[in-house]
């Protein structure tokens, strides 16, 4: 989350590679098994940060311009778009696909943010901020809910155990399809499967 610019071992911008391409490839590698095991569910951990995201097809790897916040938001928007497209592709199956926002959770995930690095913030604001953060158990509740509840609808975005409207850019079917095609090409999906 909001890390400095660096690349995965496979050469992808770290946030896009870990937060999106990793989900994308793993899910596709497991898809045959998930379809054979119906009913089954796929839960992609996204974030409210997707609302600030923009898929920059002309610079997905942030090689021309990198900023930690926008790169993170793009990767989380990619989770929402991936969920949307995968759900359409699995429409005639009993495999449900959801994207979830766990909330602000007390973890070390934000260790690269200026807030986490600031001594003043850690001494003055952090104790107050932690009151508003969820515990790890609380943060997991929406994902658990989507894994077991009977009223889950495929292709939706969930937060606080309820379906919520994603940002407008998270409902762009054309972008979702294009992202799928670009992602499949980036991870050599046809060669892998």
Which of the residues are catalytic? 72
Which residue bears the tokens 């095991």? 37
Q: Quick one: CA dihedral 109, 99, 78, 7, positive or negative?
A: positive
Q: Which two tokens stand for residue 88?
A: 């359409």
**Count of CB atoms within 10 A of residue 40's CB?**
17
Cα gap 105→139, rounded to integer Å: 6
| DSSP bridge pairs for 159 | 101, 162
Q: Which two tokens stand for residue 24?
A: 């994308």
Contact 16, 62 (CB under 8 A): yes
DSSP of 127-151: HHHHHHSBPHHHHHHHHHHHHH-TT
Helix or strand run (H / E) with residue 164 = strand 162-164
């Amino acid at each position: 989350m909001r890390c400095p610019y660096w690349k995965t071992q496979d050469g992808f911008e770290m946030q896009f590679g870990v937060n999106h391409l990793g989900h994308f490839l793993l899910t596709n590698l497991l898809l045959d098994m998930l379809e054979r095991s119906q009913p089954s569910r796929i839960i992609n951990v996204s974030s409210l940060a997707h609302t600030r995201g923009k898929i920059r097809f002309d610079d997905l790897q942030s090689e021309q311009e990198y900023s930690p916040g926008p790169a993170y938001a793009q990767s989380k928007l990619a989770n929402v778009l991936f969920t949307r497209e995968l759900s359409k592709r699995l429409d005639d199956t009993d495999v449900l696909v959801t994207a979830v926002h766990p909330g602000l959770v007390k973890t070390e995930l934000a260790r690269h943010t200026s807030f986490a690095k600031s001594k003043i913030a850690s001494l003055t604001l952090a104790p107050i901020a932690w009151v508003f953060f969820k515990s790890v158990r609380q943060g997991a509740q929406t994902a658990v809910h989507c894994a077991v509840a009977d009223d889950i609808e495929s292709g939706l975005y969930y937060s606080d155990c309820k379906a919520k409207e994603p940002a407008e850019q998270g409902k762009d079917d054309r972008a979702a399809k294009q992202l799928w095609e670009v992602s499949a090409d980036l991870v050599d999906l046809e060669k892998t499967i």
